[in-house]
Amino acid sequence: MTLVALTGGIASGKSTIARRLAEHGAVVIDADALVRELQQPGTAVTRAIGDAFPGVVGEDGSLDRAALGAVVFADPAALTTLNRIVHPAVKAESQRRFAEAVGADPDAVVVYDVPLLAEARGTGEWDLVVVAHAPAEVREERLVTQRGMTREDARARIANQAGDAERLALADVVIDTSGSIDDTLRQADDLWARLR
């Protein structure tokens, strides 16, 4: 098994790269999707979040993501608390999925789409770390035009993540996503050729 960490800041093009690698045959494990699964009503993670942040879990046990986001993206200490709850659970589930992938195909290329690799100080287990990179101003514009965020919200989300230098320091490969989608896809194709 080849284990690739694919990381990058919010709106950096990670999902575009992950989809392209999946088209080539990679097993893609999406950390954000794992988080959503682990935060379903009634899970241990959701209960712990509710205990730490009163008012963000409804009577039906569902997480109010907008309310939680408003708290944690405005307060670095709150974000640290949330990460201490979520990161260990995500790590355990991702490890289980890596083992499942290698059990199904020992030669699999497993791509772990993990936005917060730098924030989690994730190093060591990866055969290759790929960073999807676009300057903060490009990512801000994408958040405003493609996701409908206000500039203030977009800047806050970007500011609450690791900086470009910290992420790039982890990189074995950098895919420049500031240009066209076709250019990004070509770079992803080149990466796949290297992996196979």
Beta partners for 113?
A: 6, 30
Tokens of 98: 């890596």
For tokens 């690698």, the residue is: 21
Q: What is the CA radius of gyration of the chain?
A: 17
Asked if residue 120 lies in contact with residue 80, where contact means CB atoms within 8 angstroms, the answer is: no
For tokens 């991702």, the residue is: 94
Whether 122 has a binding-site annotation, put simply, is: no
SS3 state at 29:
strand
Q: What is the Cα–Cα distance from 122 to 167, expressed in whole angstroms?
A: 10
Whether 13 has a binding-site annotation, put simply, is: yes
Whether 91 has a binding-site annotation, put simply, is: no
Whether 178 has a binding-site annotation, put simply, is: no
Whether 14 has a binding-site annotation, put simply, is: yes
Whether 11 has a binding-site annotation, put simply, is: yes
Instruction: Give Cα 140 distance to the centre of its chain.
Output: 17
E strand or H helix at 167, and its extent? helix 164-168
DSSP secondary structure code for residue 129 in this structure: E
Closest CA to 161 of 136, 128, 142: 136
Q: List binding-site positions.
A: 11-16
Q: List binding-site positions for ATP.
A: 11-16
